[in-house]
Amino acid sequence: MNVARQASKRPVAVFMLLLAIAALGVIALRRLHLELIPNLEYPYAAVFATYMGAGTEEVEQLVTEPLERIIATVPGVKRFTSVSQPGFSFILIEYAWGVDVLSASSRLERYLSLAQANLPEQVKPSVVEFDPSLLPVFVFSTEQDVESFVDQIKRLPDVAGVEVLGKASKRVVVRLDPEKVEQLGLDLSLMEMFLSGNAIYPMGQVKDENGNVYPITVDARFRNLEELRNAIVGFRGLTYQTAMSGQLPKLLVPIRLGQVASIEVVEEEVRGVVRVNGHSTNVVAVRKRSGANTVESVRQIKNLLKQLKVSYTPLIDQSLYTQRAVNNLLKNLLLGLLCASIVVAIFVPNIFNTLIVSLSIPVSLIIAIVLMYFFKLNFDLLTLGGLTMAVGMLVDNAIVVFENIFRHKSEGQDYLEAASRGTKEVFGAIFASTATTVIVFVPLLFTESFAATMFKYFAATLSLALGASLAVAGVLVPAGSKWIMSRKIEAYEKFRITYKNSLERLLDRKVVVLPLVLVILLFSVFVLMNRPRSFTPKFESNTLSIVVKMNEQAGYEKTSQVVSELEKFILERKEKFNVQHVYCEVGITSELSQIVGGASEDKGTIYVWFGGKRTEYVENKKALLSELQKFQIQGATLSVGESDFMSELFGYPLTIVLRGKDIDLLLKEAERLSDALKQKGIGQVAVRGKATLQTMMVDIDRTKAIFSGLLPGQLLMEFQRRTVGQAIGIVSTEEGSLPVFLKVSSLGTVEDVGGVVFKNMRNQQIPLDVIANVEKRQTLTSISHMNGERVVYVDVTESQFSVSKLTRIAEETINDLKLKVDHEFSGQKNSMDTLFSEFRTIIIIAAILVYMFLAAQFESLVVPFIIFMSVPIALVALTLTMLIFNYELNLPVLVGSLTLVGTVVNNAIVMVSFVLQRRREAKEVSFRTIITESASLRLRPILMTSLTTILALLPVALSRAEGSELESPIAWTIILGLSITTLFTLYVVPMLLELLLKRSTRA
């Protein structure tokens, strides 16, 4: 059945079909989520464990190393890195891309349960899968009472959790009075036994006579504070020793907890502060549930706050950047549609003709959106980028079909015959053109790196849109053939004849033109091989981050005082630089900030948000940066940088990993390397893991302790009661279930540690210095491992050089220094190497697939070779793009190049297929005449398809809004690529046809 003829006969039916598709498009549009990047399953998991009171080396040896030995045996683990800190161990595990993270993490938990026997008793490792939803989507500050609305935010359908930064959690503290304990003769060792068991325990199950199973649960918890207060903790005159020997007092007088201790609900001390615009305030961070729509989640929160009349200041709003970037893409998409329509109107100056062709763009987009819904794709930077890149190409197929129908009607055929013949003649060519554009993305399906996985979404939407345009060209344009107005345009006819004459002259100069093209191509390859390489371009944001680092002994109060000076400096220039908000976070404000952000009491971070458009805030940020370079803080180091999410995802531009067993040697070599790199002026260089901390070391002599009548375990328990407190379970209160901690008196100063006195088994007072040596000791604040081996990182955090040049300088420096430890490169360098390795393979395979498809389509090996010659010519355009705009060879440029591989052959396919068709029909005419005549007849569709794509992409290429760093290089690569390959198609392809097919009788 001839679909084109049927469509031209039944335009009303086609119109109804379009309305049905539009209705489906509206439904799909309402259900698609709006995100910044695709919702991927990231192949990372984290294992963290706390070991209260342990130093860095103790955590490394007793916690991190046993866990790493088990993790190394888990199937599917690609690599793992760890950081051991005082009281805390953190291990980041990376799986291979494509691994089912949920099942891999479950397997990891089972393996870690085996390691439990080799860990200290109180250490319980936890496994957390990495999910972007762990990061807050909306952070705001308010001076109102957060308790009045936090619970309502938590109940919103898309909210996973709410955290109030800097807000103290509550606990029940049982504070013993030493005098009352002494007066009533309470033995604290015995009291611990009386208070134990404050928990609920499962105890198996039993059966009755009918075979029913009943689980047994033993509940020994304190019901409330009053019951805890009345709990018996001993008897007068009863000691641990007499109880063990069975010697009980004749009269048992109970001692209740309330008699020797105060019991109260208190707020835990928060070792950090949060300020907004210089004032202490409540800061609320909201996380969305996994898979929820970011924009919709934030909209729900804002609507709720508006209903509750909560006055707030937004600090972090993921939806804002997402909406800006997406709105910018939508604007460019509409501009592209307008530009494409203008091109059609210029070449075919008739309102009906322009409308018929231009309608193919929105109809193809609507079909693509419906397909996106069924393929479970959402709107984000990459999928919308794919649609935007496709806008100019969507009209290509329609133009080729339209132009051929237009030509047939101009020759006097009726619209049914023109629609049928016109569509049939070119459908094979437009199918081949669309297939070659789509087929280049097939190798992406077999890649597993992050970059390739991300750009599968770009490729998917581009392919869906082009596939839809093929269907539209075969149905919509023939349906409108009745209204196609055919007439010759004098200006175009003159231009066509001029082109035909110029082509004839150049065909006589093949010997000059073809070698010249070859020389230009070889020169372009040489330039490309020597261009600097990087992973991604630098992304601009409206945020500036400033990190203030004090000496390691500084507490958060001291750090806060110093940071406030810098806050004041910035706030004084708030109006000058259009600063919207200044957010300051000092010390440890939440558990998540310590785990993810590496927060500590000696560190403060200031985030500065700028207002205005992108060009404005970029200038203001640079101006403030230059002033901050002059700002000096005594006793602190200042690190100023731009918030760049690429660094957060892929690390710094270059990280040099030094490996070895001797941590002192590693640090010494890292300092040598860091100093040498700084001398070469490559940018900001920092050594991770060199910080040290003075700790109070109480070294107990076990022999002296035992002969003094004290057990080492007893000493540890006593210290615990005087510092962090001894955990004795939980208890129900009016404020919910709270943990209970038993404390005697706090050790507040250095002198307090040496003054501790213990009571031994003979009821004697034993000073600490009799049984232990107390001294200050220098220890590392952290020790890092990679795959179980000690490492120190030398980071190049910021540099004006490309990653490839940084690597070359670093290699030369390392060779000159002759380091005494092993090394390897990491950071964005790793991602870049993986990217270039994969894309080199992808582009080669894509080129081979294009050639194979063309060979199958034309049933020839020579014809596809002629068409395929457009692909290497794209290298000339790529070189020109990089030289004009000073681009480095990076991810967006490579994606643009990959898109070009499938796109640049389209015009050549249209021309070559038409030449071969005319050759079969006009066997008596010379091949030179067939070539020049066919090329001139194909001039209009070739120019129209190229110009529509080029003009449609110009708004994207010229854009300077959010997300343009990714989209603009792709657009310019395609624009210049199409421009140069169009000239190649119009002049060089005819030369190759004449050179290679002149004597051929088969085509």
The pLDDT confidence band at residue 131, using thresholds 50, 70 and 90, is low
Burial of 748 (0-12, 13-18, 19+ CB in 10 A): exposed
Residue 987 carries which DSSP code? I
Contact 657, 793 (CB under 8 A): yes
Predicted confidence (pLDDT) at residue 424 exceeds the cutoff of 60: yes
> 736-743 and 170-176 as β-strands: parallel, antiparallel, unpaired?
parallel
Buried b (16+ CB within 10 A) or exposed e, 534-555: bbbbebbbbbbbbebbbebebe
The pLDDT confidence band at residue 51, using thresholds 50, 70 and 90, is confident
The answer, as to whether pTM is greater than 0.75, is: no
State what percent of residues in the chain have pLDDT above 70: 92
pLDDT of res. 1002 = 46
How confident is the model over 145-171, as a mean pLDDT? 81
The architecture (CATH level 2) of 1-31+348-487 comes to Up-down Bundle (1.20)
pLDDT in tens, 829-860: 887 888 788 888 888 888 888 888 888 888 88
pLDDT of res. 595 = 55
Which of 581, 608, 719, 587 has the alpha carbon at shortest distance from 168? 587
The number of C-alpha atoms within 13 Å of 192 and in the hemisphere containing its C-beta is 14
In CATH terms, are 1-31+348-487 and 489-539+835-1002 the same topology? yes
The pLDDT confidence band at residue 962, using thresholds 50, 70 and 90, is low
Phi and psi at 798, nearest 5°, equal -145, 140
Better pLDDT: 916 or 714:
916
Tally Cβ neighbours within 10 Å of residue 140.
22
Q: How far apart are CA 532 and CA 886, in angstroms?
A: 10
How confident is the model over 171-190, as a mean pLDDT? 81
Q: Which residues pair with 171 in a beta bridge?
A: 266
pLDDT of res. 1000 = 55
Give the range with max mean pLDDT: 73-82, 113-122, 314-323, 414-423: 73-82
Angle at 682 between CA 677 and CA 686, to 5 degrees: 60
Residue 461 carries which DSSP code? H
Q: How far apart are CA 358 and CA 354, in angstroms?
A: 6
The architecture (CATH level 2) of 694-780 comes to 2-Layer Sandwich (3.30)
| Centroid of chain to Cα 497 | 54
How confident is the model over 199-223, as a mean pLDDT? 82
Q: Please, which residues have CB within 8 angstroms of residue 844's CB and are 6 or more apart in sequence? A: none
Classify domain 489-539+835-1002 by CATH number.
1.20.1640.10
How confident is the model over 503-514, as a mean pLDDT? 90
- Structure tokens that stand for 337 in this block: 């549609």
State what percent of residues in the chain have pLDDT above 90: 7
pLDDT in tens, 658-672: 998 888 899 899 999
Report CA Rg, the chain.
Answer: 37
Q: Give the alpha-carbon dihedral of 343, 346, 352, 356, to 10 degrees.
A: -20
pLDDT in tens, 937-960: 888 888 888 888 888 888 888 877
Classify domain 43-130 by CATH number.
3.30.70.1430
pLDDT in tens, 363-381: 888 999 999 999 888 888 7
- Structure tokens that stand for 794 in this block: 């030398």
**94 three-state secondary structure:** strand
Q: Where are the domains of the chain?
A: 1-31+348-487, 43-130, 178-195+221-259, 489-539+835-1002, 694-780
Mean pLDDT, the chain, whole residue set = 82
Which of 731, 808, 783, 573 has the alpha carbon at shortest distance from 198? 731
pLDDT of res. 724 = 73
pLDDT of res. 285 = 87
Q: How far apart are CA 682 and CA 799, in angstroms?
A: 6
Predicted confidence (pLDDT) at residue 600 exceeds the cutoff of 80: no
- Integer CA distances (angstroms), 611 to 265, 582, 623, in order: 44, 12, 14
Q: Which residues pair with 736 in a beta bridge?
A: 733
